[in-house]
Amino acid sequence: MKKNKSKSVVHGSDRVIEIVMLLVIIVFLIIVLYPLYYVVVASVSNPYDVYAGKTFLFPSGFTLEGYMRVFKEKAIATGYLNSIIYTVLGTVISTALVVMTAYPLSRKELPGKKAIMIFFIITMYFSGGLIPTYLVVAKTGLLNTVWALILPGGVSVFNVIVARTYFEGSIPQEMYEAADIDGCGNMKTFLKIVLPLSKPIIAVMVIFAMVAFWNDWFTSLIYMSDKNKYPLQLALRQILIQSQASANAMSGMDGGYAEANRITELIKFASMVVGAVPMLIAYPFVQKYFEKGLMVGAVKG
């Protein structure tokens, strides 16, 4: 009887811990999701009601004017297409470079790999700066091309470290030994054995690169002068600046500034949603690989 009581007490305490953990997860989920929900609600609400705190949970003064004004601009379609091209191309190149860099660094037989890693890590803390980087891009003829957005930041040292840790901890040494016995060279081992076992970490590298390239607007601002090559984020920025300029120009008119400012706020919130939706759609497709690869690649052993 005492054993049964102790077991029931243990099960009861486990149940309490599970409930507490579930409540904690729900609280964190709300904290993470509410800002996005609020932006969506604000994008279809009257800005004055947003400022008055009337859109805490539900839209107030429902309107789609912000979205209509955003999508009325031809630059949006061009920006979407450019961003998709830059993101896909940049993700493929960046992921390939990171994986091909991390794999040799994970092999014990690579001579001087510690010195190479030190060289890589130094670049995480020190760089030439904006002006020297711009001069390099200009002298190599990359200005106003897609390569200016991809090549200078094509290899993330952080991603290399995560991928290297995954290769070291998740690919058994026996697999390499068996490949050597079967006569596989380094390239064949990499293509036939390592890559098929590395889907989780590749998914992590893909999502990291995809989000980075999709959200990057500052690089385009520096290196792109042709508006037809602007990515979506830079196109949205230009639309928002134009709407703010219009509001300032109408400040001297009775009621003009208030109306222009209302439209500017609608465009601002709508732009946030328009820029975030593609990544929100893409993430679920790689989520299961992303979670597994991130955890395994972040902890050695």
- Calpha distance 301→209 (Å, rounded): 25
Positions of E strands within 56-120: none
- Calpha distance 291→297 (Å, rounded): 10
pLDDT, tens digit only, all 301 positions of the chain: 545 555 555 566 778 888 889 999 899 888 888 888 888 888 888 887 777 777 777 888 788 888 888 888 788 888 888 988 999 999 999 999 999 999 888 888 888 888 988 998 888 888 878 888 899 999 998 898 999 989 888 888 888 998 888 888 877 778 887 888 877 778 888 888 888 888 888 888 888 888 889 888 888 889 988 888 888 888 888 877 777 776 666 655 555 566 667 777 788 888 888 888 887 787 777 666 666 555 554 444 4
Cβ atoms of 146 and 86 within 8 Å: the answer is yes
Residue 158 backbone class (left: φ over 0; alpha: ψ -120 to 50; beta: rest): alpha
Q: Is the pTM of this model over 0.85?
A: no
User: Burial of 82 by CB count in 10 Å (0-12 exposed, 13-18 middle, 19+ buried)?
Assistant: buried
Nearest Cα to 239, choosing from 66, 85, 40? 66
State both tokens at 52. 């008055």
- Calpha distance 267→72 (Å, rounded): 11
Length of the chain in terms of residues written: 301
Q: For the residues of 169-212, what is the DSSP string, one character each?
A: HHS-HHHHHHHHHTT--HHHHIIIIIGGG-HHHHHHHHHHHHHH
Cβ atoms of 224 and 234 within 8 Å: the answer is yes
State both tokens at 140. 């190599």
